[in-house]
């Protein structure tokens, strides 16, 4: 007997985005952490170091907003996904998708959709705090907002695919979560989130340049810092072209990694 063809990957992906957002909204700890962490960090660093300046006489809160926006994107994409997928694998939710014949790409797309929506919401909470709490100027024109958008989207996509790849690390879901947090913390220090990047030791700068967070942070600086700050970057400019290339390269590397390492079962 003939059956109609199973639903397309696109239709399943759409159902998955709705599901992921609903589940995210119901996981109170994750919601609070995702939205509160960047705001709390902004408040703490803004209050403690609000009066200081970074190279080029840039007020620290503006510099820090760029770093914490980038960190927030990494949190909602890379960290949150690696942890949640490891749990879904451990509890047999992924096994069920495999048995249903769900295309992996539909699953990935669902995660990416959820990441993009939650990242946007997180930034929508963070920016007003910086603007009204710490007088950080917002991007002055459309060109800056466009830069903001592509940097954020590429960063979130790179974080998504790398988070999916990292979820396949060996060990329990708890150990994957711990491992990914450790990676994230080290990257934050290396990538100039907390300290002015140009003042970091050269070897640290070079190590950070291999990973996406440094470029994501630099891209955000180009949005929130005045033009004159560009001269104080290590390369003497914002390097938009290179930023886009490196982030795109990490999206592709992440895709290759997760298509090779992704597994439905432990």
- Cα(138)–Cα(155) distance, rounded to whole angstroms? 20
Both tokens of residue 200? Answer: 């970091």
Binding span for another protein by CB under 8 A among 94-102, 112-120, 175-183, 224-232: 94-102
Q: Least CB distance from residue 108 to another protein, whole Å? A: 16
Restricting to residues 168-227, which ones interact with another protein according to CB under 8 A? none
CB neighbour class for 100 (10 Å; exposed up to 12, middle 13-18, buried from 19):
exposed
**15 contacts another protein (rule: CB under 8 A):** yes
**261 contacts another protein (rule: CB under 8 A):** no
**99 contacts another protein (rule: CB under 8 A):** yes
Other beta carbons within 10 angstroms of residue 253's beta carbon come to 15
**265 contacts another protein (rule: CB under 8 A):** yes
**43 contacts another protein (rule: CB under 8 A):** no
**19 contacts another protein (rule: CB under 8 A):** yes
**4 contacts another protein (rule: CB under 8 A):** yes
Q: Which of 92, 104, 139, 198 binds another protein (CB under 8 A)?
A: 92
Q: Which DSSP symbol is given to 192? A: T
The DSSP secondary structure of 93-135, one letter per residue, reads HHHHHHHTT--HHHHHHHHHHHHHHHHHHHHHHHHHIIIIIH-
SS3 breakdown of the chain: % helix, strand, coil, rounded to 5? 75, 0, 20
Number of residues that bind another protein (CB under 8 A): 30
**29 contacts another protein (rule: CB under 8 A):** no
Binding span for another protein by CB under 8 A among 21-29, 199-207, 226-234, 236-244: 21-29
Q: Which of 29, 100, 142, 202 binds another protein (CB under 8 A)?
A: 100
**93 contacts another protein (rule: CB under 8 A):** yes
Q: Are 118 and 92 in contact (CB under 8 A)?
A: no
- Cα(239)–Cα(222) distance, rounded to whole angstroms? 9
Q: Least CB distance from residue 84 to another protein, whole Å? A: 9
Both tokens of residue 196? Answer: 């002015």
Other beta carbons within 10 angstroms of residue 161's beta carbon come to 25
* 31 or 169: CB nearest another protein: 31
Interacting residue ranges for another protein, rule: CB under 8 A: 1, 3-7, 11-12, 14-15, 18-19, 22-23, 26-27, 91-96, 98-103, 264-265
């Amino acid at each position: 007997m003939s059956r109609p063809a199973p639903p397309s990957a696109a239709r399943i992906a759409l159902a998955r985005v709705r599901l992921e957002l609903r589940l995210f909204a119901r996981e109170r700890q994750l919601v609070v952490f995702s939205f509160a962490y960047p705001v709390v960090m902004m408040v703490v660093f803004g209050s403690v170091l609000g009066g200081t300046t970074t190279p080029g006489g840039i007020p620290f809160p503006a510099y820090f907003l760029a770093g914490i926006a980038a960190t927030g994107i990494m949190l909602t994409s890379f960290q949150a996904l690696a942890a949640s997928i490891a749990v879904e694998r451990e509890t047999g939710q992924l096994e069920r998708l495999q048995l249903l014949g769900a295309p992996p790409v539909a699953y990935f797309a669902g995660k990416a959709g959820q990441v993009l929506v939650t990242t946007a919401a997180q930034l929508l909470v963070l920016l007003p705090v910086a603007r009204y709490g710490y007088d950080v100027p917002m991007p002055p024109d459309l060109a800056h907002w466009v830069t903001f958008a592509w940097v954020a989207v590429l960063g979130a996509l790179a974080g998504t695919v790398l988070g999916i790849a990292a979820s396949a690390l060996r060990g329990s879901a708890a150990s994957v979560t711990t491992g990914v947090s450790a990676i994230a913390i080290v990257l934050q220090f290396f990538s100039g989130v907390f300290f002015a990047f140009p003042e970091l030791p050269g070897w640290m700068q070079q190590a950070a340049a291999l990973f996406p967070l440094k470029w994501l942070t630099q891209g955000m600086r180009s949005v929130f810092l005045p033009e004159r700050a560009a001269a104080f970057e290590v390369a003497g400019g914002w390097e938009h072209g290179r930023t886009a290339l490196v982030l795109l390269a990490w999206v592709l590397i992440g895709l290759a990694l997760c298509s090779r390492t992704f597994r439905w079962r432990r």
